[in-house]
């Protein structure tokens, strides 16, 4: 079993971070994914508030991965599992939000997965860095949205 575990802090309030997490269409704006594949997604909420059971398909390069939402406790927990992914098995992740001391939000994004031997030596380090970038992008974008124009 492999894992990743990242934590970032943002000055944005938990509600602002939460709004981005539950809206799959927003992910390409702030994350390392290139696009939301709506043809392979299931149950997306047109208003941007995806519910448990929705499958969100994200394209990164030539790879499309599907993540099924398994738990949702607004505005503090979003969990998902692998719906389809050619390189990983038994993937489960949790994104936990909590108020930061002095304001803002602590984002804790962690997951576990199985890999075949061929990718097992490479993927843990790559995915740790990739997910760190995801969390940092989420934090920055939430801050930008909270900045008065």
pLDDT, residue 119, reads: 60
User: Are 30 and 140 in contact, with CB atoms under 8 Å apart?
Assistant: yes
Tokens of 72: 């949702």
pLDDT, residue 149, reads: 43
CA dihedral 13, 27, 75, 4 (to 10 degrees): -100
pLDDT in tens, 95-136: 999 999 999 999 999 999 988 765 655 678 888 999 999 999
User: Are 56 and 24 in contact, with CB atoms under 8 Å apart?
Assistant: yes
Domains in the chain: boundaries:
2-146
Q: What is the mean pLDDT of the chain?
A: 92
pLDDT, residue 118, reads: 59
pLDDT, residue 85, reads: 83
Positions of the chain with pLDDT under 70: 117-122, 147-149
Task: Report the CATH fold assignment for 2-146.
Answer: Alpha-D-Glucose-1,6-Bisphosphate; Chain A, domain 4 (3.30.530)
């Amino acid at each position: 079993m492999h894992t990743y575990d990242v934590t970032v802090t943002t000055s944005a309030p938990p509600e602002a971070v939460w709004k981005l997490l539950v809206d799959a269409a927003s992910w390409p704006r702030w994350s390392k994914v290139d696009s939301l594949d709506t043809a392979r997604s299931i149950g997306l909420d047109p208003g941007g508030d995806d519910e448990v059971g929705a499958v969100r398909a994200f394209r990164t390069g030539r790879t499309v991965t599907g993540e099924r939402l398994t738990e949702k406790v607004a505005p503090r927990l979003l969990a998902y599992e692998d719906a389809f992914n050619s390189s990983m098995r038994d993937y489960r992740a949790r994104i936990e939000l909590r108020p930061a001391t002095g304001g803002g939000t602590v984002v804790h994004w962690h997951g576990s997965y199985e890999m075949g031997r061929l990718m097992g030596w490479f993927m843990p380090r790559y995915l740790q860095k990739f997910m760190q970038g995801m969390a940092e992008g989420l934090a920055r974008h939430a801050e930008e949205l909270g900045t008065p124009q």
